[in-house]
């Protein structure tokens, strides 16, 4: 019996009791005039007792309903418990304290979960809790003017994992990278590459670093006559080729980091005029004007974002006719909505707090609900003890260097293990240890152990041809099954709260439960003892644990090795 099944059974019991009490209170003639409260699964919340001696699950539903019903919470709990004791699969239902109800599941009802998990495979843990939600998830979005650095590394890991848990909860999600390929930074980037190709020093405001020299060499290899071109053409050529090369490097770095984007949107496309000579930005300004939030003042065009909580109104087009960055932001926001994304999530760095009010105000000006349709997550800084600045870039710590040093799995797991809004310092010595104090090793080792047990079982003649869930009655088996039951709830919660670190922490707890079971219960018979159904059934439980560990690691973008 799963928590969801128990909760649904309790809904019927509680609704029946509530209806009966309301009928008795109002009298037979008045019962139809004042309907009793409708009980849903959301009302019957089940929690794992901290002390397992108290049972497998606990509910405070009686305490929650006592006041609205004018009932004594302990008496109401006793009535619910008495009815629940008759549910098939419930070993006992006992009242504790002022009105808590503790439920104990019988071994057979709990044990069937092992078979259900194995049969569900990769689908175990998924749900439809966010079905119908269409979400655009934008993260990283680094300028294509240099390699990805340590900050981008954290946003990449978090953003990708958030997308994975959202999809597991049934949402339709598009991971999107916004390429900031317009504006002064691109001109400075191109000028830096051209200067390096000419053997000149980096221009003022340009980009230093050995990677610029490397790009210059690659540009010259692509266009050997670059230095013979007219200055303006040479600058344009150097910019375009270097941009293409640098963006390709960014994509390759992310791919190696197991981070994938469904959409790459170029800022240039927003500025580019269509066949009618009108750009997306031109159209965006007029659409906002039609909403009544655009006005003209001092030869400039403004958006009245203060109507939606911004600290000041924003200029969208200057007096000289040049659009501001805010204009591109507006066009891009509207573009996302035009593509069918009602909800937009932005994962931004710690230095982007000012964007929160701006984006929410933009949503309001576009006619959306700023509190529902746009969500901004601010990630805090991350540092790694002993990490060296990039030899190529000179002033940053590169993603590629970190990956080569610590490995994708260690980085992905560690960065996904903490909330986005918490500053993080990583100890590389711990991440390189092959011991239980290294969290990623601890979890991956459990998966490897489950596959090792399965291999050894096959060699010893233990297979899954038999399944007797009532035999999973050891205390450690009850605890392990209880942990496995939690996985779907954890995934749904991680998706709703945008907190994939909950999956990592859950996996570590599950790993501990598996180790305790492994130390207490044998899958393979001792000596010449015959293979029995208890061994076959335990193999189901072993394989179910491996499946859940594998599914959880996949949500974090981390591999599940079969041997370590």
pLDDT tens, position by position, 1-16: 777 888 889 999 999 9
Indicate the residue among 212, 233, 256 that finishes a domain.
256
Domain count for the chain = 4
Asked whether residue 394 is assigned to any structural domain, the reply reads no
pLDDT for 415 equals 94
Query: Nearest-5° angle of CA 429, CA 435, CA 441?
Result: 85
pLDDT for 31 equals 46
Prediction pTM value: 0.90
Complete DSSP assignment for 221-265: HH-TTGGGS-HHHHHHHHHHHHHHHHHHHHHHHHHHTT---SEEE
**Co-location of 123 and 199 in the same domain:** no
Residues 6+ apart with CB under 8 A from 551: 122, 124, 125, 487
pLDDT for 2 equals 78
Asked whether residue 427 is assigned to any structural domain, the reply reads no
Sheet holding 374-378: strands in order across? 263-266, 172-179, 134-138, 343-348, 374-378
**Co-location of 92 and 30 in the same domain:** yes
In this structure, what CATH number is given to the domain that contains residue 447? 1.10.730.10
Complete DSSP assignment for 375-431: EEEEPPPEEETTPPPPTTTSSS-BHHHHHHHH-HHHHHHHHHSS-TTS-EEE-HHHH
- Chain length of the chain: 564
**Co-location of 246 and 216 in the same domain:** yes
Asked whether residue 268 is assigned to any structural domain, the reply reads yes
In this structure, what CATH number is given to the domain that contains residue 284? 3.40.50.620
Residues 228, 524: Cα–Cα separation, whole Å = 76
Asked whether residue 315 is assigned to any structural domain, the reply reads yes
**Co-location of 266 and 360 in the same domain:** yes
pLDDT for 30 equals 53
Asked whether residue 407 is assigned to any structural domain, the reply reads no
Asked whether residue 18 is assigned to any structural domain, the reply reads yes
**Co-location of 122 and 198 in the same domain:** no
Neighbours of 139 (CB within 10 A): 27
pLDDT for 26 equals 66
Going residue by residue through the chain, which has 564 residues, state the pLDDT in tens, using 9 for 90 and above. 777 888 889 999 999 998 888 777 766 555 445 566 788 888 888 888 877 778 888 999 999 988 888 889 999 999 999 999 888 889 999 999 999 999 998 899 899 999 999 999 999 999 999 999 999 999 999 999 999 999 899 999 999 999 999 999 999 999 999 999 998 999 999 999 999 999 999 999 999 889 999 999 999 999 999 999 999 999 999 999 999 999 999 999 999 999 999 999 999 999 999 999 999 999 999 999 999 999 999 999 999 999 988 889 999 999 999 999 899 999 999 999 999 999 999 999 877 777 888 899 999 999 999 999 999 999 888 888 888 777 677 778 899 999 999 999 999 999 999 998 888 899 999 999 998 999 999 999 999 999 999 999 999 999 999 999 999 999 999 999 999 999 999 999 999 999 999 999 999 999 999 999 999 999 999 988 999 999 999 999 999 999 999 999 999 999 999 999
**Co-location of 359 and 332 in the same domain:** yes
**Co-location of 372 and 478 in the same domain:** no
Asked whether residue 198 is assigned to any structural domain, the reply reads yes
Spatial contact of 10 and 85, defined as CB atoms under 8 Å apart: no
In this structure, what CATH number is given to the domain that contains residue 65? 3.30.1360.70
Indicate the residue among 239, 256, 273 that finishes a domain.
256
**Co-location of 251 and 117 in the same domain:** no
pLDDT tens, position by position, 182-203: 989 999 999 999 999 999 999 9
**Co-location of 155 and 273 in the same domain:** yes
Query: Nearest-5° angle of CA 28, CA 30, CA 33?
Result: 135
Residues 254, 260: Cα–Cα separation, whole Å = 7
pLDDT for 63 equals 92
Spatial contact of 127 and 491, defined as CB atoms under 8 Å apart: yes
Indicate the residue among 331, 359, 378 that finishes a domain.
378
Asked whether residue 68 is assigned to any structural domain, the reply reads yes
Domain of 278 in residue numbering reads as 134-178+261-378
- Terminal-residue alpha carbon distance, the chain: 34
pLDDT for 35 equals 61
**Co-location of 289 and 170 in the same domain:** yes
- Residue (of 78, 74, 64) closest to 97 by Cα position: 74
**Co-location of 283 and 150 in the same domain:** yes
Residues 159, 167: Cα–Cα separation, whole Å = 12
Backbone angles phi, psi at 325, to 5 degrees: -60, -30
Residues 377, 367: Cα–Cα separation, whole Å = 22
**Co-location of 170 and 286 in the same domain:** yes
| Local structure of 31: helix, strand or coil | helix
């Amino acid at each position: 019996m799963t928590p969801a099944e128990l909760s649904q059974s309790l809904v019927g019991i509680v609704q029946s009791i509530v209806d009966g009490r309301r009928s008795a209170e109002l009298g037979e003639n008045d019962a139809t005039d004042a309907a009793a409260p409708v009980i849903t699964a959301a009302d019957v919340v089940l929690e794992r007792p901290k002390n397992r001696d108290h049972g497998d699950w606990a509910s405070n539903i009686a305490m929650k309903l006592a006041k609205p019903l004018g009932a004594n919470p302990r008496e109401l709990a006793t009535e619910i418990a008495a009815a629940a004791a008759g549910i098939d699969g419930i070993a006992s239902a006992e009242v504790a304290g002022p009105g808590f109800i503790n439920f104990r599941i019988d071994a057979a009802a709990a044990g069937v979960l092992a078979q259900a998990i194995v049969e569900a495979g990769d689908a175990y843990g998924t749900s439809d809790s966010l079905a119908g939600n269409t979400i655009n998830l934008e993260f990283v979005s680094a300028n294509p003017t240099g390699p990805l650095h340590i900050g981008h590394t954290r946003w990449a890991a978090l953003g990708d994992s958030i997308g994975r848990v959202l999809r597991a909860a049934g949402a339709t999600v598009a991971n999107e990278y916004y390429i900031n390929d317009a504006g002064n930074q691109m001109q400075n980037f191109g000028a830096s590459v051209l200067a390096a190709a000419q053997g000149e020093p980096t221009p003022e405001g340009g980009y230093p670093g050995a990677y610029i020299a490397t790009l210059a060499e690659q540009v010259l290899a692509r266009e050997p006559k670059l230095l013979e071109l007219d200055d303006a053409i040479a600058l344009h050529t150097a910019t375009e080729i270097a941009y293409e090369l640098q963006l390709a490097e960014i994509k390759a770095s992310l791919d190696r980091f197991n981070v994938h984007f469904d959409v790459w949107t170029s800022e240039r496309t927003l500025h580019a005029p269509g066949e009618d000579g009108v750009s997306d930005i031109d159209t965006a300004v007029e659409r906002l004007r039609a909403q009544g939030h655009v006005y003209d003042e001092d030869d400039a065009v403004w958006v009245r974002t203060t109507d939606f909580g911004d600290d000041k109104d924003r200029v969208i087009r200057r007096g000289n006719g040049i659009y501001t960055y805010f204009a591109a932001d507006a066009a891009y926001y509207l573009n996302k909505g035009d593509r069918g994304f009602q909800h937009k999530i932005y994962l931004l760095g710690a230095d982007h707090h000012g964007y929160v009010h701006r984006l929410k105000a933009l949503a309001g000006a576009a006619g959306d609900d700023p509190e529902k349709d746009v969500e901004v997550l601010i990630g805090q800084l991350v540092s790694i003890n002993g990490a060296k600045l990039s030899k190529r870039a000179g002033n940053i710590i590169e993603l590629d260097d970190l990956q080569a040093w610590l490995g994708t799995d260690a980085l992905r797991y560690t960065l996904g293990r903490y909330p986005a809004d918490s500053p993080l310092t990583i100890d590389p010595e711990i991440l390189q240890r092959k011991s239980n104090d290294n969290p990623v090793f601890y979890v991956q080792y459990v998966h490897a152990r489950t596959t090792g047990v399965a291999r050894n079982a096959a060699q010893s003649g233990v297979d899954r041809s038999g399944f007797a869930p009532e035999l999973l009655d050891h205390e450690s088996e009850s605890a392990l099954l209880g942990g496995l039951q939690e996985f779907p709830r954890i995934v749904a919660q991680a998706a709703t709260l945008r907190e994939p670190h909950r999956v990592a922490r859950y996996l570590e707890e599950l790993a501990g439960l598996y180790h305790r079971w492994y130390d207490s219960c044998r899958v393979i018979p001792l000596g010449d003892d015959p293979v029995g159904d208890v061994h076959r059934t335990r193999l189901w439980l072993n394989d179910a644990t491996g499946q859940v560990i594998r599914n959880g690691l996949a949500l974090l973008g981390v591999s599940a090795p079969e041997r370590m």
